[in-house]
Amino acid sequence: MGMLGENLQKLRYMFVECRFSLSTALRVGIQCLAAIEELHSLGFIHRDVKASNFTVNIESSSPLNVYIIDFGLCRAFRNSQNEIKPARDKAQFRGTTRYASITAHNEMEQSPRDDLESWFYMLIEMISSQLPWGDLHRTDRDEVKKMKENARTHDGMQQLLKNCPKVEFRRILKYLDGLSYQNQPDYGFITQLLQLAMKNYGIKADEPYDWQD
């Protein structure tokens, strides 16, 4: 592995509007998803997916790679026989309030789908610069949870996805919300939806990233 650069949160704050272009956000989002999938393939969930926990390599001669870091809240969701562990009846809140899944807010056992819900919020923030609940303090977990639940309504989703590819992102959220604790996410399906958004917006895979311009 080459030398790592800044995390995605710091890179985002380099820009006046504190957001990436749609081109950069979608392509980085695909790489973040691949990093999460690799962690899940090892039988672990991260439980604190957010932009500051992803870094990019800074070697200009190398293709861009995104790395997931900070495994302090990781938990094994498979046992030594590679079977999914039974969910506990109650689990303490783990994660960052802004990006935590509704399951985490409900203090229920998290699974791979919860990392992906956090990734989805992170991706929206990289595109829009802020989530609807972004101004709330991290201790206002109940209010943040209510706003995330409201984001599933028609008006709430319009606000959540106001700067995003709405058709593809609605499908991603609907898919994630349909997953259960036991389900294995279809990472390829989600990636295909992001690639479809790239195609629909005329984004090419080899475009410069915002920090390379």
pLDDT digits (tens, 9 = 90+) for 21-72: 999 999 999 999 999 999 999 999 999 999 999 999 866 666 788 999 999 9
Give the domain CATH number at 120.
1.10.510.10
Within a domain: 212: no
What is the CB neighbour count within 10 angstroms for residue 199?
11
Q: Using an 8 Å Cβ cutoff, are 119 and 101 in contact?
A: no
177 in active site: no
Q: What is the pLDDT of residue 58?
A: 64
pLDDT digits (tens, 9 = 90+) for 96-107: 999 999 999 999
Question: What's the DSSP call for residue 136?
Answer: S
Q: Which of 48, 89, 114, 155 is catalytic?
A: 48
Q: What is the pLDDT of residue 100?
A: 98
Which residue(s) pair with 54 in the sheet? 68
In angstroms, rounded to a whole number, what is the distance separating the alpha carbons of residues 163 and 150? Answer: 18
Domain of residue 137: give its range: 4-70+90-202
Question: What's the DSSP call for residue 51?
Answer: G
pLDDT digits (tens, 9 = 90+) for 162-179: 999 999 999 999 999 999
What average pLDDT does the structure give for the chain?
95
Within a domain: 75: no
Within a domain: 55: yes
Q: What total of structural domains would you count in the chain?
A: 1
Q: Parallel, antiparallel, or unpaired for β 54-57 and 4-7? A: antiparallel
In angstroms, rounded to a whole number, what is the distance separating the alpha carbons of residues 92 and 97? Answer: 13
What is the CB neighbour count within 10 angstroms for residue 4?
15
The structure's pTM equals 0.96
Within a domain: 121: yes
Averaged pLDDT for residues 200-205: 97
**Which helix (DSSP H) or strand (DSSP E) does residue 24 occupy?**
helix 22-41
Within a domain: 102: yes
Token reading at 60: 């200009």
- By the 10 Å C-beta count (0-12 exposed, 13-18 middle, 19+ buried), 176 is classed as middle
